[in-house]
Amino acid sequence: MKKNGRKYRKLVREREQKLEKIEQSIIIEREVDGIKTSYLSMAHILSSNPIVYENTNTKRTYLERLASYLKIGGWNKRKYESSMMEAYKKIITGNEEVRVDNGIDYYKNLIVFDLAHFLGYELKELNEKLKNVEKQYLLDFDSSEEDISFSRIINSVTSIRKLRNVQKLLGRDDEKEYAELICKNLSFKKKQPFGIMVTATMSAGKSTFINSLTGKYICLSQNMACTSKIHSIINKPFEDGFSYEYDHDLVMTAGKEELFNDNALNTSDRIYVSTHFQGGLADGRYIIHDSPGVNYSGDHEHKEIADRLIKAKKYNMLIYVMNSTQLATNDEDEHLDFVKQRIGRTPVLFVMNKVDSYDVEEEDIFATMHRQTEYLKKKGFKNPTICPVSARAGYLAKQFVLRKLTRSEERELYNFVDKFEQMGLPRYYGEKFPQIHVEDNEQEEIQLLKNCGLAYIENIIKEYTEGGK
């Protein structure tokens, strides 16, 4: 084969892509305390199971049978499965609205799907145990000639093709929908995870920025040093209405209480949270790490935690958030040096947050970004491009889409709408990132997602995920 010939170049390119894939797959932690992180990126499927609307007796029987299958298989003592059982109990018994009275036999297929879901759709090594479960299942449920067998259903979740075949055989819409949700979980699980580390000096708005990317108030943000552990936020394939949190205990129906209070029993510096990301990043298997703000004169522990994570390099991309109300401070200077020394070839995206604080009449956004770019070049970063954003405005615009704004947030949002109509950020992005296109929207509140820079940043991240530069 000729060197530099087309075939040779293709081969080299293919080999590089393969290596890159392997590299990526070892970057992200596969397990945390025996729980696979891929399990944490599966959404609850229960919302499509009418068991939630059953009478108390049927609900109780359903839960008892599920629990007995876990016990027979010996999975009830494992953290993930037992937490899932707790969540099922809470979701099923927590709903008091009775809408259906189908009787327990109605659920004979759905319960098998649920068991498969509990086991993370990974069943290869479980055959012997499953045979014992099947024996009990056959005693529990009436069977007939037309039934799809227990083993056919449970094995179907090992591949999308098998699952699609079983889905065709299912008689009812709710069963087909259940299989559809599992399909979504399965195809999501097959995607390569993409890790993003977010770092900055104190109070630059890292947590607010991550909340704007996820569209959820997941990371505590306030006007004082507040993030003290590394929060890894994992995307789920679709909205199931729940967040999971792993902070010593795994809670799969986490509310504010769990999310905003650190568990004293957790002696590690990590907390994992899973939720569905609303907006531009909804489809990717992202893990975003929120780290404590680095303050060189203040809390050394925070700095150590953040430094360790940057050094460990378990991410595919680093986002460095700068605070446009506090540029070129000593802390920034030192932190940039640290990042520069450690980052190697990992791509860095610079985000200039809080641009809503600019006076549009007095300040020229192009000139400010240019000055900051020159500063980053002096610090040794090659071709740095800065993405201006107002994370606060982006977060509020997403809350508007989700109809979750309070009155005072609404007022804040309309202030931002006016301000960003004048600021002209799309012109800046059009010039610096000509390959990135963001559609306009007639509704001013949704247009704010574009005008405040957030929609551009989401698209830029997506480009990186897909291998673009």
Q: Which parts of this chain interact with Mg ion (CB under 5 A)?
A: 206-207, 227
Which residue ranges make up the site for ligand GTP (CB under 6 A)?
A: 200, 202-208, 221-223, 225-227, 292-293, 353-354, 356-357, 390-392
Closer of 149 and 222 to Mg ion (Cβ): 222
Q: Token digits for 31?
A: 């397990």
Find the shortest distance in angstroms from Cβ 287 to ligand GTP.
17
**Residue 419 and residue 313 in contact, taking contact as beta carbons nearer than 8 Å:** no
Burial group, residue 151, by CB count within 10 angstroms (0-12, 13-18, 19+): middle
Which residue has 């489809």 as its token pair?
283
Q: In what helix (H) or strand (E) does residue 271 lie, and over which residues does it extend?
A: strand 270-275
State the Cα–Cα distance between residues 417 and 428, nearest whole angstrom. 18
Find the shortest distance in angstroms from Cβ 256 to Mg ion.
16
Which residue has 């394939």 as its token pair?
237
Which residue has 């195809």 as its token pair?
187
The DSSP code for 379 is T
Burial group, residue 240, by CB count within 10 angstroms (0-12, 13-18, 19+): buried
Out of Mg ion, ligand GTP, none, what residue 200 binds, judged by CB under 5 to 8 A for its kind, is ligand GTP
Closer of 284 and 388 to ligand GTP (Cβ): 388
Out of ligand GTP, Mg ion, none, what residue 460 binds, judged by CB under 5 to 8 A for its kind, is none
Out of Mg ion, ligand GTP, none, what residue 222 binds, judged by CB under 5 to 8 A for its kind, is ligand GTP
Task: Report CA torsion sign: 125, 130, 131, 132.
Answer: positive
Find the shortest distance in angstroms from Cβ 294 to Mg ion.
11
Closer of 204 and 397 to ligand GTP (Cβ): 204
Find the shortest distance in angstroms from Cβ 179 to Mg ion.
40
Buried b (16+ CB within 10 A) or exposed e, 301-324: ebbebbbebbeeeebbbbbbbbbb
Find the shortest distance in angstroms from Cβ 91 to ligand GTP.
31
Closer of 65 and 392 to ligand GTP (Cβ): 392
Return the residue nearest ligand GTP (CB atom).
293
Q: What angle do CA 428, 430, 434 make, to 5 degrees?
A: 135
Q: Token digits for 110?
A: 């759905």
Find the shortest distance in angstroms from Cβ 313 to ligand GTP.
21
Out of ligand GTP, Mg ion, none, what residue 354 binds, judged by CB under 5 to 8 A for its kind, is ligand GTP
Single-letter code of the amino acid located at 330: N
Burial group, residue 257, by CB count within 10 angstroms (0-12, 13-18, 19+): exposed
State the Cα–Cα distance between residues 460 and 215, nearest whole angstrom. 17
Q: Give the side-chain half-sphere CA count within 13 A for 442.
A: 0
Cα dihedral value 262, 267, 268, 272, nearest 10:
-30
Out of Mg ion, ligand GTP, none, what residue 205 binds, judged by CB under 5 to 8 A for its kind, is ligand GTP
Closer of 243 and 353 to Mg ion (Cβ): 353
Closer of 163 and 202 to ligand GTP (Cβ): 202
State the Cα–Cα distance between residues 239 and 294, nearest whole angstrom. 33
Closer of 243 and 353 to ligand GTP (Cβ): 353
Out of Mg ion, ligand GTP, none, what residue 165 binds, judged by CB under 5 to 8 A for its kind, is none
Find the shortest distance in angstroms from Cβ 198 to Mg ion.
9
Return the residue nearest Mg ion (CB atom).
227
Find the shortest distance in angstroms from Cβ 429 to ligand GTP.
17
Closer of 102 and 329 to Mg ion (Cβ): 329
Out of Mg ion, ligand GTP, none, what residue 37 binds, judged by CB under 5 to 8 A for its kind, is none
Out of Mg ion, ligand GTP, none, what residue 390 binds, judged by CB under 5 to 8 A for its kind, is ligand GTP
Single-letter code of the amino acid located at 106: Y
Closer of 221 and 253 to ligand GTP (Cβ): 221
Find the shortest distance in angstroms from Cβ 423 to ligand GTP.
13
